[in-house]
Structure 1
Amino acid sequence: MTWEGPAVGTEAAVSCKGFRFPAEIISHAVWLCHRFPLSFREVEELLLARGIVVSHETIRAWCDRFGPEYAAALRCRRPQAGDKWHLDEVFVKINGERTYLWRAVDQDGNVLDVLVQPRRDAKAARRFMAKLMEKQCRVPRVLVTDRLCSYGVAHRELMSSVEHRSHKGLNNRAENSHQPTRQRERAMKGFRSAGRTQQFLSVFSQISPHFRPRR
């Protein structure tokens, strides 16, 4: 068996004891699944071309088992996010039903958090903002959103001291960050359940930018 290629770089933080393959191969397979719009069978073929015989079901199990751990390790190694937060929501079809994906990014395009919710009312906005503040352990200097009224309600209740800029033209940073998700949605032929979608996108938002050169 031969192997050449980059791994996720978090193998030391995640234990692969008891698995037949070394951590470098497992992490590389997980990275391929989250970085490129590839199916598990396509990743299986890429590994086979390097002399690594592993089934697509095993690769799926690796992603479920190690994906969240690799994402958490990468999140801990990254510097503190910027103080200008862009929030946006976009609808996704999950099992044929319209659901909303809420996303927050900083001024550099780093994803701060994602949350799948069935609605985009004030209650949903409050829940997302509260989750975001808890995760970041602070409030931003500037909050940028589109003109959805739900953001204004949540802003007044949770972070009224923060400057709020509500204008569709100012929020291109958050809107552009939805594009990789749309690509994966098409490659996966849609999402099947809200829970699985939340789990996948939480991991995807951390692993996908890894080794991706900036413009």
Structure 2
Amino acid sequence: MISELRKVLKRLHYPLEVMLVCARWYAAYPLSFRHLEEMMQERGVFVDHSTVHRWSLKILPVLALIFRRRKRLVGTSWRMDETYIKVAGQWKYLYRAVDKAGDTVDFLLTAKRDKAAARRYLERAINLHGLPEKITIDKSGANTAAIHSVNADACLDIELRQSKYLNNIVEQDHRAVKRVTYPMLGFKSFWSAQKLIAGIETMHMVKKGQLRCPGGQPMSAADQFYSLAF
């Protein structure tokens, strides 16, 4: 087990394989924690749904960080957009981008949808993947202002395109994440939403083949996810 995961699991006494299976199922499929409780009971493992929730909060953020270190680079033409996520009864904003092949660039959950939030997302994505040649957005004024400010402050020349048609690819990609979050009926806190969405996004990228597999060997999405823990 990787040291980062050992630190957060040192007082949890279930087998690691059981905890990883629950975390993967939650991140990969449209299931609630009560669904997972029932599914594990059918397999002879009796665990409360609140315990599964606690496992996911501890495991998924760690694996998301490990994934970022092993993530394949994306293309230099990005499609950027934001979608809505309900947190504690209020709508929050999940910034996301994909390249022209549909691979996820990065994601960031923010409390507001404004220039500062869009710029924070852009800087995070650029720190991970380097500078893009062009970014396609819809008619969002906040996103436009953020890209212009990044260009001006760092003397960059990122091409900005505004095209709803070209941005369909990222809007369609939102659906894969929203499909998993829908049964959750909203997150209870912004803190937990950040951690769980990190796991959901990570599993989504694993399914799209964005993890550099050890030794370059082909692996199933499940095995790729588990490989992050070891």
TM-score by length of 2: 0.77
Deviations 1:148-205 (A, max 9, x none): 1222222222134122221110011211121133223420112333232222212210
- Structure 2 unaligned runs (5+)? 211-230
Is contact 2:115–2:143 with CA below 8 Å preserved after alignment?
A: yes
Report the equivalent of 2:170: 174
What is the CA distance between 1:58 and its match in structure 2?
Answer: 1.9
Cα deviations by residue, 1:25-62 (Å, 9 ceiling, x for unpaired):
22111000111111112112222222222222221111
Q: 1:131 to 1:73 in 2, by over 3 A?
A: closer
Matched, 1:61 2:57: no
Percentage identity across paired residues of the two chains: 28
What is the deviation of 1:130?
Answer: 1.9
Greater relative contact order: 1 or 2 (C-alpha under 8 angstroms, separation 6 or more)? 2
Q: What residue number does 2:138 align with?
A: 146
Letter in 1 for 2:149: E
Read off the aligned partner of 2:135 and give its amino acid letter.
L
1:135 corresponds in structure 2 to 128
Choose from 202, 205, 211 the match for 1:206.
202
Bigger fraction of residues in helix? 2
Aligned to 2:192: 196
Structural mapping, 1:21-32, within 5 Å? 21-32=14-25
Moved over 3 A (4+): 11-14, 16-19, 208-214
Distance (Å, rounded) in 2 between the aligned partners of 1:176 and 1:19: 38
5+ residue gaps, structure 1: 1-10
* Alignment root-mean-square deviation, CA: 2.4
The number of residues matched between the two structures is 203
Provide the residue aligned with 1:50 in structure 2: 43
User: 1:8-47, aligned counterparts within 5 Å?
Assistant: 11=1, 14-15=5-6, 16=9, 19-47=12-40
Q: How far apart, in 2, do the equivalents of 1:133 and 1:22 lie?
A: 38
